[in-house]
Amino acid sequence: MRPFLPLIRNPHILTVAGNYWPRAIDESRFPTRRALYATEPGTQVLVEENRPAGRVRGEALLMHGLEGSSQSGYMVSMAQRLAESGLAAHRMNMRSCGGSEHLTPTMYHSGLTVDMLALLRRFQAEGRGPLFLIGYSLGGNVVLKLAGELGQQARGLIGGVCAVSTPLDLRACVEEIGRRAHGLYERRFVRRLCARYRRKHVLDGARYPLDGLEQVRTIYEFDDRFTAPAFGFGDAANYYRTQSAIRFLPGIRVPALLIQAQDDPMIPFEIFNAQEVRSNPHLHLVAPQHGGHLGFLACEKPRFWADEVAGEWIVNRIRGTEEEQSGLVPRLEK
How far apart are alpha carbons 318 and 159 in whole angstroms?
8
Asked if the structure places residue 334 within a domain, the reply is no
- Over the chain, what is the mean pLDDT? 94
Which of helix, strand or coil describes residue 31?
Answer: coil
pLDDT band at 327 (very low <50, low <70, confident <90, very high): low
Are residues 192 and 85 located together in one domain of the fold? Answer: no
| Claim to verify: residue 239 and residue 263 sit in the same structural domain | no
Q: Are residues 64 and 94 in the same domain?
A: yes
Q: Within this chain, do residues 181 and 138 fall inside the same structural domain, yes or no?
A: no
Q: What is the DSSP string of 270-291?
A: GGGGSHHHHS-TTEEEE--S--
* CA–centroid distance for 20 within its chain: 18
Which residues, including other chains, have CB under 8 Å from residue 162's CB and lie 6 or more apart? 132, 133, 134, 135, 143, 256, 257, 258, 259, 310, 313, 314
pLDDT digits (tens, 9 = 90+) for 121-137: 999 999 998 999 999 99
How much of the chain exceeds pLDDT 70, in percent?
Answer: 96
Please name the helix (run of DSSP H) or strand (run of DSSP E) that holds residue 41, with its range, or none: none
Residue 6 within any structural domain of the chain = no
Residues 185 and 270 in one domain: no
**pLDDT score for 181:** 79
What pairs with residue 284 in β-bridges?
A: 257
> pLDDT of 253-300, one tens digit each?
999 999 999 999 999 999 999 999 999 999 999 999 999 999 999 999
Residues 145-188 pLDDT 10s:
999 999 999 998 999 999 999 999 999 999 999 987 788 899 99
Statement to judge: residues 146 and 278 lie in one domain: yes
- Residue 137 within any structural domain of the chain: yes
Question: What's the number of domains the chain is made of?
Answer: 2
In this structure, are residues 94 and 112 in contact, taking their beta carbons and an 8 Å threshold?
Answer: yes
Entry pTM: 0.94
Packed helices 11-20 and 73-84: angle between N→C axes, nearest 10 degrees: 70
Q: Which domain holds residue 209?
A: 175-243
